[in-house]
Amino acid sequence: MYKDKVTLDFNTKKKKLLNKQKCKKVERYHKRRLWDHYFWHKPSRFFYINGAFIVLTAISISFMNIFSIILAIILLITYILFLRWALIRYRALPKIASKKLEIFEEPIKEAIKKVAIFPGDVQDTITKASLEDDILSQDLTGNVYFELPKEITKLDFPPLAPPAKRTVIQTRKLEYVLLTYEFITSYTKAAKFDLLNPGRKPEKDGCEEKTKGALGPAGMEHYYSNISHGEFVDDTIKIHYKDGKVYDLIKVTGKPPDVKKISGNILKALKFKLRIVERQKLRKIDEFAKMEIIKHFRREEKEIKNKEESDIKAEEKKD
């Protein structure tokens, strides 16, 4: 038994040691990648290295001897190779970043399409609402969701470009508002994409990079039958219940015109859903009223028929 315990402790320590080695390897690869694939995430590097090559080459030529000229030629060849390598990395960075972002966000986008679908549902479709078009011109009768990209930062790329013209996304987080047939809810805990500092698994799993994101759990489900109305206050969409309670649904951030448009579209979609529920409620009330009228006429008809039969039997007895 003591031998088994010793063996178990040895295996545990060995596994921990291997995991630490894996983590160090992952960290080394990450640092190397920052200087290789993501070299242009700091454009100043290029200008410093470029300046260093020019200065060293000029100094070498200034000595005007065979050794300095040979050194200048070597530096010049190295500089040309560096420029070629830097150009390749410059062209590749947007493609690499875009592909990383796509791979990371794809599972999140696929997951939101499935959360509102329940086995056996007659209506099993879900559509993404466009924030560019008029929301009321879109089909809102089924399951609908809004995608809200947040916490967006971009690399200083292309170099010296103003913020509006930067093309490579460094960080982004996707949040959603989902309107099903029965309720409205939000998804605000999806994994965040970070190109330069990606999330990693714990040490016991070898610190592997998380290349694919996850949607995360939903917020509170607000059923339309309980909702009075929605409101946008202090960058937050709030849900007002009929009993007076108020709940936060989701924060909407961005430029003021975009915030106003996004929040307005979500509230319009909610209002549309509430109207559908109200119409269904009125239709049921109307159907119930009609059924009661039909039952009343049937009772009266039955009573008249019974009375006629009683009168006929009474007359037969007299005869």
User: 126 near 141, Cβ under 8 Å?
Assistant: no
pTM more than 0.85: no
Q: How do the domains of the chain map onto residue ranges?
A: 2-93, 97-275
Peptide bond into 257 cis (omega under 30): no
Q: How far is CA 25 from CA 22, 31, 202, 297, in A?
A: 5, 10, 14, 85
pLDDT at 205: 79
Distance CA(72)–CA(80), nearest Å, equals 12
Distance in angstroms (rounded) separating the CA atoms of residues 200 and 197? 9
Neighbour-count burial for 181-218, b at 16+ CB within 10 Å, e otherwise = eebbbbbbebbebbbeeeebeeeeebbeeeeebebeeb
Q: In whole angstroms, what is the distance from residue 183 CA to residue 218 CA? A: 12
Cα–Cα distance, 177 to 249 (Å, whole number): 8
Residue 2 tokens read as 């003591």
Alpha carbon distance 289, 16 (integer Å): 72
CA–CA separation, 46 and 157 (whole Å): 12
Burial of 127 (0-12, 13-18, 19+ CB in 10 A): middle
Nearest C-alpha neighbor of 76 from the set 54, 51, 98: 54
Q: What is the chain's pLDDT, residue by residue, as a tens digit (319 residues)?
A: 555 555 556 566 777 888 788 888 888 998 999 999 999 999 999 999 999 988 988 888 887 788 888 888 898 999 999 999 999 999 999 999 999 999 999 999 999 988 876 655 555 678 888 877 777 778 788 888 999 999 999 999 998 888 888 989 999 999 999 998 889 999 999 999 999 999 888 888 778 888 999 999 989 999 998 999 999 998 999 999 999 999 999 999 888 888 888 898 999 999 988 888 877 665 665 555 556 555 655 666 666 666 666 666 666 666 5
Report the length, in residues, of the chain. 319
Residue 161, pLDDT score: 87
Which residue in 164, 167, 177, 187 sits closest to 255, CA to CA? 164
Can you point out the beta strands (E) in the chain?
A: 126-128, 143-154, 169-179, 183-187, 193-194, 222-223, 227-233, 236-241, 246-251
Q: If residue 299 lies in a helix (H) or strand (E), which one and from where to where?
A: helix 256-318
pLDDT value for 69: 85
